[in-house]
Structure 1
């Protein structure tokens, strides 16, 4: 996403000096932040957030949340012991999991290693259809943290729910001239796309929110309407047909985007050929950077909610990804998981 001259609340060009690399597992301050084809082509500051809407939306039955310890930032290991009981170990929440609701599956060191090496994929089971094997490596990149990779494995294998209705995954850019070195993208789901876009304007209107795209629609001219379908202007958007299991797609997208925004592996020179799944990262990895100061998430000044669909990406100072966080980093994640759900579960 290219920076633009702000009109109301626009993002200024990136700083000449690149933002410092985030700590591999650090929690960054999320103050005042407002994933098939997408509708448009296209020192970190704050971490990723997902929006908690003010109204209920159709959703699939979520996985049972990890057991938390009151007053502590820990959860109980999700793995089962040989005795058939849930492991009693408590694990500190990684920063990516802290911003996802419900909390993704998390495992202690012993069970994490076992889970990671136990199998390379799983069988998709659908009534009336032949079982199909899915390789994890075809969808889960190694530049993600090991906890993130395991969380995605669990979500990929989950059974579908009849409550998970068709819908859309939309993306806004939140423009804020006070934060020129980051790109803020709101990635959410909607059953009625145009209605949802209008609601956000009314609910949180103090910041300019620019539509960047949506899944599974397209803004490409179809040859019959002279490009009239190619608009990203609110009130002029033709949503097209909804995609299946939009809650499932959103969940997979959010887990991956939380990792990309907080750990920013795309800032590493070798990305995407970067391996952060090693339990003992090398000194050259993101985890070797100084740990930034932690801060609690703050409620939105407009609606009072703590938004958890907003992901803040440190802007690359140079290279292929400079100004292209949306079309080269975020958009492909949405396309990938939308394609996965369509191919194996629709």
Structure 2
């Protein structure tokens, strides 16, 4: 038997491939939950669509379209720093008067503009669209394009196939959008609003309380981009 080449590259295991999409800072419990979800087969009925982020504010203090979209804008496109902007529309936590948060609604839709007209308000809050995905900062929001893996992914994460990278200019939706929404919600579970709504009495599983800072808002964008990238690599 010929000696094994010392230059032979060891292929990552399926579990290692899945772990490459899960941040190391998550708790073991959260990591296990995400791994379990990732291990499930993708339903053939899981259609493509868009992931959206809406900003929920008091109806008497609603940001305009430019202000809402600037919450995730690049520094050169901002008229105000994110920390100041978020605090302007934030609220104090009842359990911690020093902590200020904003309320985001994160979900899926086949037609974001239709959702905007349907949901100008919900349970006493005004809804403003922050961003939808797939999203690339150099592209206008009216023309979603194929998402690329975010730069903060682990260095050992699996790169998308060459065929996918070469066709990165194709306009498309997020594949397996139900699964993507589920993965996003699982990772952000510790930020989900876990109480019944005062207006309708229901628990809104798409509502999340996010720290009113640039770091808090960017973390949400990173989560959505990462699972959108995962879907691109696992499309049918």
TM-score of the aligned structures, taking structure 2 as reference length: 0.60
- Say which of 219, 225, 230 aligns to 1:329: 219
Which residue pairs with 2:113 in the alignment?
194
- Say which of 174, 183, 204 aligns to 1:243: 174
Gaps of 5+ in 1: 1-119, 123-132, 222-228, 231-236, 263-294, 316-321
> Helix, strand or coil: the match of 1:184?
strand
- Say which of 182, 195, 220 aligns to 1:297: 195
Which residue pairs with 1:135 in the alignment?
17
CA distance in 2: counterparts of 1:184 and 1:251, whole angstroms: 19
CA distance in 1: counterparts of 2:221 and 2:48, whole angstroms: 19
- Say which of 139, 162, 169 aligns to 2:44: 162
For 1:230-309, what aligned pairs fall within 5 Å after superposition? Answer: 230=141, 237=142, 241-259=172-190, 261=191, 297-301=195-199, 303-309=200-206
- Say which of 211, 219, 225 aligns to 1:314: 211
When the two chains are superposed, the root-mean-square deviation of aligned CA atoms in Å is 2.7
CA distance in 2: counterparts of 1:201 and 1:249, whole angstroms: 24
Which residue pairs with 2:28 in the alignment?
146
Whether contact under 8 Å (1:140, 1:149) holds in the other structure is yes
Figure out how many residues of one structure are paired with residues of the other and give that number.
Answer: 162
Which residue pairs with 1:179 in the alignment?
91
Deviation at 1:189, TM superposition (A): 0.5
Deviation at 1:218, TM superposition (A): 4.4
> Helix, strand or coil: the match of 1:306?
coil
Deviations 1:48-76 (A, max 9, x none): xxxxxxxxxxxxxxxxxxxxxxxxxxxxx
TM-score of the aligned structures, taking structure 1 as reference length: 0.42
> Helix, strand or coil: the match of 1:331?
helix
CA distance in 1: counterparts of 2:234 and 2:16, whole angstroms: 9
CA distance in 1: counterparts of 2:197 and 2:186, whole angstroms: 21
CA 296–138 in structure 1, closer or farther in 2 if over 3 Å, else same: closer
Runs of 4 or more consecutive aligned structure 1 residues displaced over 3 Å after TM superposition: 217-221, 237-240
CA 296–135 in structure 1, closer or farther in 2 if over 3 Å, else same: closer
Higher relative contact order (CA 8 A, sep 6+): 1
Deviation at 1:300, TM superposition (A): 4.9
Deviations 1:286-334 (A, max 9, x none): xxxxxxxxx9712251x4432111111234xxxxxx33422x2011111
Which residue pairs with 1:277 in the alignment?
none
Deviations 1:15-34 (A, max 9, x none): xxxxxxxxxxxxxxxxxxxx
> Helix, strand or coil: the match of 2:188?
helix
Whether contact under 8 Å (2:52, 2:109) holds in the other structure is yes
CA 206–341 in structure 1, closer or farther in 2 if over 3 Å, else same: same
